Amino acid sequence: MGMGGGIGERVVQESAARQLTWMMTQVVEQGTGMRARIPGWQIAGKSGTTQASRDAWFIGFTGEYVTGVWMGYDNNTPLSGVTGGGLPAEIWHETMVRVLDGMTPVPLPMDEPVETGPVLFGPQPGGASGGNFLIDLLNSILGGGN
């Protein structure tokens, strides 16, 4: 058996992965991760803050790098005024500006999701998603659906 770099099995459909990547770029372009933006670069990411602010993080990626910044105390003391979209995203930005300096931006493999109908939550009549974009996307990611 060869020494591979992974299990070698696709677990998410490519179209779903491309749509999720686009959604994660929106976190950086107009959401909680805006402090991570770097002009000229496509960046996808996710910020997070646990309940009681014990942990805060920003994890982002470009076409070539994945980098995460986590903040928290070893003794589980709450952070004061820190959220993932704040200081962790700023640290991510400052780190990645230096990493990417002099490099040519690499585009992210992404597609803007196409909404197939109204976004409805909960079970739909007849057991089908009834054009529910969120359910359709989850089904495509998990391989379920029709």
Longest dimension (CA), the chain: 56
For residue 108, what pLDDT is reported? 97
Say what the pLDDT of residue 133 is.
Answer: 64
CA distance readout (Å), 101 to 38, 39, 44, 133: 11, 12, 18, 38
Domain residue ranges of the chain, discontinuous segments joined by +? 14-109, 114-146
CB 28 within 8 A of CB 53: no
pLDDT for res 5 = 63
Low-confidence ranges of the chain (pLDDT < 70): 1-6, 116-146
pTM: 0.73
pLDDT at 143: 61
